[in-house]
Amino acid sequence: MKAYNANNYKDIYSIDKCRSEAVFFRGKHKLFGELLRIPAVFGQDDKNLQPLVRLARKGQLPGINSHISDWHCITNNDVAYYIYCWLNKDNLSTLNISYLLSEKRYSINDLVESINHSVHGNGYQARKKSLMYIKLIYSLLAVKSYISSGFKWSNFPYARYQDLFERDWKIDDSDGIDIHTIDVNLADIWNSL
């Protein structure tokens, strides 16, 4: 499960995570195991990173010179290893929730730096853009989505923008929810697989 925010944001991007868990818990008397809430997950051949890698190769992947939110992230190998360990557990009789999180948080600037360093080397310094510039790009993506969907409005691009740059991501630390942390370095993305 992608981890949803304890703030319970009401946009479609956030609500789908809550709904997916609700489906499992409606039938929890028939199920046992673990719903693993995971944050952003990256891997070396991640399709979501390819546009950023292409921009980096052209020297056009900027950082952001404003305050932006940060979040936990892990690699696909971290998830695979956790599942492998979980499969070796015994005596599971209930449906539980847990998080798998990086020990520290990262921002888009950290990800941009990691990508640029993987492409150009550790000494490379990307130029910086304002957050308004990035917001404009996401506004254009929203208009493009509106046109390509036959003029049906979708809040997805704007919700994604909020997700990455503005929201204060919190973790639900209620009783009965385990939090597992791992030491992640964004350079691990390029060493995965």
Number of Cβ within a 10 Å radius of residue 42? 22
Q: Is residue 70 part of a domain?
A: yes
Q: Is residue 163 part of a domain?
A: no
Q: Is residue 156 part of a domain?
A: no
Q: Is residue 176 part of a domain?
A: yes
pLDDT of residue 15: 73
Q: Which residues in the chain show pLDDT less than 50?
A: 192-193
pLDDT of residue 155: 61
Q: Is residue 48 part of a domain?
A: yes
> Is the whole-model pTM more than 0.85?
no
Q: Which domain holds residue 41?
A: 12-130+169-191
Q: Is residue 159 part of a domain?
A: no
Q: Is residue 149 part of a domain?
A: no
pLDDT of residue 193: 38
Alpha-carbon separation of residue 143 from 4, 13, 55 (angstroms) = 26, 17, 22
Domain count, the chain: 1
The span from the CA of 14 to the CA of 12, in Å, is 5
Tell me the pLDDT tens digit for each residue of 114-133: 989 989 998 898 899 998 88
Alpha-carbon separation of residue 109 from 57, 79, 103, 105 (angstroms) = 17, 23, 18, 12
Q: Is residue 144 part of a domain?
A: no
pLDDT of residue 172: 83
pLDDT of residue 51: 80
